[in-house]
Chains A and B, each alone.
Chain A
Amino acid sequence: MNRLLKSREILLVVIIAIMVASFSTRAPGFASPGNLANIFNDTSILIILALGQMTVILTKSIDLSVAANLAFTGMAVAMTNAAYPDLPLALLIVMAIGIGAFLGAINGYLVWALQIPPIVVTLGTLTIYRGMAFVLSGGGWVNAHQMTPSFLNIPRMPVLGLPILSWIAIVIVLGAWFVLTRLPFGRAAYASGGNPTAAVYAGIDIGWTRFLAFVLSGALAGLSSYLWVSRYAVAYVDIAAGFELDTVAACVIGGISIAGGIGSVAGAVLGALFLGVIKNALPVIGISPFAQMAISGIVIVLAVVFNARAEKKAGRIILRDRAAPEVTA
């Protein structure tokens, strides 16, 4: 079983390679380095968001408000840029991360202090944040001509052959790997999802860990909001609608257990890339973009089935089911 879990990432790499190879038989040039770099760049935002989502899921929670957070923060940043073109970009990015982290902290506080189930909290804040984006903008749009050139162009600037957007994603991936595998917070996140009761006895503050995970997820959503708005050169209320499901899908495909405690950064990244390859391949092989939703649905269901098979514990006890519900402290 251990070997199976370890090979999960390798399996995904193989599947993605087979997909790319078979798509390139239909569309020559699909597997060219330039196009692959393009796909990676296109998937960068999903990768960043999936890593935040992964951290939350590791602690046995879920954050359905990431896309709404992105919409609100993106609107706030774009409107600030349109109103005060002289503000330096660095300040705007700090502001985006700050607002995102604050919205994430609200989620985290409700989960931590009031112990409301995360799915209920984030279902609620999902509508609240998107509604606030409407209140903030009055339903209006911020268009490309209102944004400053540096705001729009910096993520596109190529450095060593890759746009800065891709480099940001790479830095975040390395950062997430460092935080989750090398820092106490990472261990705490795995522990409080894997076995909450044992984590408490080990002196881990589960509530605080979950709070931090939500703040991290919110901060990454904030960063992504700037990247999203500058990439698509427009901000309106409905940007990234439903994108929270893509982040969950990327995690589930990447082998992150929805029950918490299991998963790797590589898995989340590969899960996101898997979706990115499919999304980019559909128009190339002549399938309607409307099919994308159904395909990701099928992939999520299959991935859940597959995960359940992989997680099944050896030597189960009577009645083939997990024991009585554990008490989260």
Chain B
Amino acid sequence: MSDVATTKRVIPDRLGTKTSRMLASWEVLLFGVAVLIFIFNSFASPYFLNAWNLSDATFNFTEKAMIAFAMALLVIAGEIDLSVAAIIALASTAMGAAAQMGIGTPGLVAIGIGTGLLCGAFNGLLVAGLRLPSIVVTIGTMSLFRGISYIVLGDQAYGKYPESFAYFGQGYVAWVFSFEFVLFIGLATAFAILLHATNFGRQIYVIGNNEFAARFSGIPVERVKFILFLLTGLMAGVAAVCLTSRLGSTRPSIAQGWELEVVTMVVLGGVSILGGAGTIAGVVIAAFVMGLVTFGLGLLNVPGIVMSIFVGLLLIITIAVPIIARRIKEMNR
């Protein structure tokens, strides 16, 4: 049992059997947690079990989860992007400026997504092209991207968006299923296929487990990393479109602190922060868990900043528990 867990970086000899069982159990465990929270919430508040309330609750996590999918790939490859929330701010500012000039909805979406791609490309160029450590680079670009928003907006806000633009954040595809929720499901499927069923996905795991070996195996490490940063920028752009459309306004402080929640979601989903392991299914369940926790606390009138204590605790505890469990297992050996 514990033969895979003696070193910090697990490099499985054979894929399947034990490793996959271990990973599967994490997702099952998390799913159990989600069900427990669901049951607890429905007892704690009479307003919880209502299709429309539950539909509203999905807005708590759909935008963050979109970014978390791309971030999961990045973390599995052994990198991180702390600038995602700042990319949202910049993309939202660009869309706001364009909307003031009277550009229509398709143009705004293109500008939002384009800004995201550009920011992602900039990060990718610095990390993959110049081989710089992604943590500091993205701390820098985080300050740069949001800083540009502050230069453009200062203490002002953009608010005049065309009416049809509201669909992305406020529209419903059918009954209680919002456009955002449907997009979330679609993107989850797309990312699951990309990570688990394509060569590109396998290359991500190889890079995360052993970059050196990946290079010897002829994997274009830099190109893969660049694409992953581009993908993360793209998803931040998409999230910016949804969020801006939902709020109907842009301030430079938009989505402040989201990078932490996105990373928490990824880590909670069982993705190893050291790279090399994780699944999209885990991230999807983690998104639901975090959405349910914040929604439940919200129904109980817990202020947002106190909720952030729970998010922080959740992050540390979910990482600490497997480590402590492993210690105990080793002690019993």
Contact across chains for B274 and A304 when beta carbons are under 8 A apart: no
Residue of A nearest to B313 (CB): A128
* Contact of B315 with A319 in the complex, beta carbons under 8 Å: no
Q: Which residues of B contact A124 (CB under 8 A)?
A: 264, 312-313, 315-316
Interchain CB contact under 8 A, A134 and B305: yes
Contact (Cβ within 8 A) A305 B130 = yes
Distance A305 CA – B312 CA, assembled complex (angstroms) = 31
Whether B333 sits at the interface, judged by CB under 8 Å, is: no
* Any A CB within 8 A of the CB of B140: yes
Report the Cα distance A134→B312, complex, angstroms.
Answer: 14
How many residues on the A side are at the interface (Cβ–Cβ under 8 A)?
50
- Whether B315 and A300, one on each chain, are in contact in the complex, defined by CB atoms closer than 8 angstroms, is no
Chain B hits for A258, CB < 8 A: 133, 135-136
Interface bits B108-152 vs A (CB < 8 Å: 1, else 0): 000000000000000000100011110111011111111110110
**Which of B213, B216, B263 contacts A123, CB < 8 Å?**
B263
Interface string of A10-28 (1 = CB under 8 A from B): 0000000000000000000
Contacts of B312 in A (CB 8 A): 123-128, 131
Contact call B133/A304, Cβ cutoff below 8 A: yes
Which residues of chain A are within 8 angstroms of B155 by Cβ–Cβ distance? Answer: 290
Complex Cα distance, B24 from A279, in Å, reads 51
Mask, A288-329, CB within 8 Å of B = 1, is: 101111111110110011001000000000010101110110
Q: Check A294 against B305 for contact (C-beta < 8 Å).
A: no
Docked Cα-Cα span, A301 to B127, in Å, equals 11
Query: How many B residues have CB within 8 A of the partner chain?
Result: 54
Establish whether residues B126 and A305, one from each chain, have CB atoms under 8 Å apart when the complex forms.
Answer: yes
Q: Whole-angstrom distance from the CB of B53 to the nearest CB of chain A? A: 25
**Contact, CB under 8 Å: A62 / B135:** yes
Q: How far is the CA of A216 from the CA of B257 in the complex (A)?
A: 26
Assuming A259-B133, A301-B140, is B305 touching A114 (CB within 8 A)?
A: no
Per-residue interface assignment for chain A, residues 41 to 62, with 1 indicating a CB less than 8 Å from any chain B CB and 0 otherwise: 0000000000000000000001
Question: Chain A: interface secondary structure?
Answer: helix
Q: Which residues of B contact A139 (CB under 8 A)?
A: 303, 305
A128 touches B130 (CB 8 A): no
What are the residues of chain B within 8 A of A308 when measuring CB–CB? 130-132
**B154 at the A interface (CB under 8 A):** yes
Q: Which of B146, B274, B305 contacts A117 (CB 8 A)?
A: B274
The residue of chain B having its C-beta at the shortest distance from the C-beta of A297 within the complex is B144
Per the bound structure, the CA–CA distance linking A119 and B263 in Å amounts to 11
Is A94's CB within 8 Å of the partner chain B? no
Could you tell me if A298 and B306 are in contact, using CB atoms closer than 8 angstroms?
A: no
What is the bound-complex CA distance between A298 and B145, given in angstroms? 10
Name the residue of chain B whose CB is nearest to the CB of A320.
Answer: B131
Q: How far is the CA of A292 from the CA of B213 in the complex (A)?
A: 42
Question: Which of B132, B263, B303 is A304 in contact with, Cβ under 8 Å?
Answer: B132
Instruction: Please give me the 9 A-B residue pairs with the lowest Cβ-Cβ distance, nearest first.
Output: A294-B147, A297-B144, A300-B140, A297-B143, A293-B147, A131-B309, A127-B312, A128-B312, A301-B140
* Chain B interface residues toward A at CB < 8 A: 7-9, 80, 126, 130-133, 135-137, 139-148, 150-151, 154-155, 210-213, 215-216, 252, 257, 260, 263-264, 267, 273-274, 303, 305-306, 308-309, 311-313, 315-316, 319-320, 323-324
